[in-house]
Amino acid sequence: MSAWAMPTTAGPTDESTHQVQRVLGDLVQGAETLSALIVALGERARLIDISPALSERVAGVVQAMGLDLSTVSPERAAQLAGLGGGLLAQSANLSARPEAPETWNVVDASVLDGLGAASAPFAVQIKDAVAPRLEGLSRRLSGEATILDVGAGVAALSVALATVFPTARIVGIDVWEPSLARARANIEAAGMAESIVVRRQDVCDLADRDHYDMIWFAGPFIPADVQPQALRQCARALKPGGWLLYGAFAGHDPLSDVLADLRTLRSGGPVLDDEGIASQLGAAGLVQVTPIGVQVGLPSRIVAGRRG
């Protein structure tokens, strides 16, 4: 029995209704718990200043979960708060506006930054877990590499890549101006203007040829109908031997699998399994296609393809 129970309406109810009520109660409690954890992480990161009374209650929720945030660095706490807050806001938008078009149309700066924070940990994963598995990529990235961030959003990943690969030159492209405005501010705040340039550009109009050592392709945010052309343009933009990394949401059980698909659909991208992504990379002319699971606070996966 859930500790949080929905009120029962008058009259008989069948067992399936009781089950829905119990599950709903559990999920409401989970949403409230998540909100408290996001606030606690924000306080840990010194992003917010809340009242002593609220701080005490939020800390009580965290303690009841058996968590110790004192071991979490403020920087990581900020990333996790952004990830949780962004996804919570996106989930709330689904329930409030299910009729909204299945495309990326977020304008709230806090949500954009929050969801952008979810991509930043990919940089360390690329350095430590992904590049060593892909022929020649670690060597390229350790030098004066050129990297293209397709679907750069608020440039959280671009900034993280510039931090992890300090000799690299990074170009971020996107078509969503609210994100690009935040990207320019974030790059300036990070002191990365010499290493990163962002521009408003449709990836299908990418004219660069034989230019990049690595391309990050934000699969869930690139519309399904343009992805084949976009990937062909990216393949041509790679230097021979360069790698494209197609980032996608993932799951680890039946529920998280379907939630990853729902998240992708609501973000405007195509719902593809690894074989579907590999097929698209192959059709774009890429070879040595390799799927790689990664963990960045949210189950994710990368499917890599190399230009021959």
Across the chain, which has 308 residues, the per-10-residue mean pLDDT values are 50 77 89 92 91 94 94 86 80 78 67 79 94 97 96 95 97 94 94 96 95 97 94 98 96 90 90 96 97 83 96
Kindly state the helix (H) or strand (E) to which residue 295 belongs, with its residue range: strand 286-295
What are residue 299's DSSP bridge partners? 295
pLDDT at 117: 78
pLDDT at 47: 85
Contact 303, 249 (CB under 8 A): no
Q: Tell me the CA end-to-end span of the chain in Å, nearest whole number.
A: 58
Q: In order of start, what are the domains of the chain with their CATH numbers?
A: 15-102 (no CATH), 118-307 (3.40.50.150)
What 8-state DSSP symbol labels residue 126? I
Distance CA 178, CA 106 (A): 8
What are residue 212's DSSP bridge partners? 238
pLDDT at 130: 96
Q: Could you tell me which of 82, 2, 98, 1 has the C-alpha nearest to residue 45? A: 82
Distance CA 16, CA 24 (A): 12
Distance CA 137, CA 56 (A): 48
pLDDT at 109: 72
pLDDT at 12: 56
What pTM did the predictor assign? 0.83
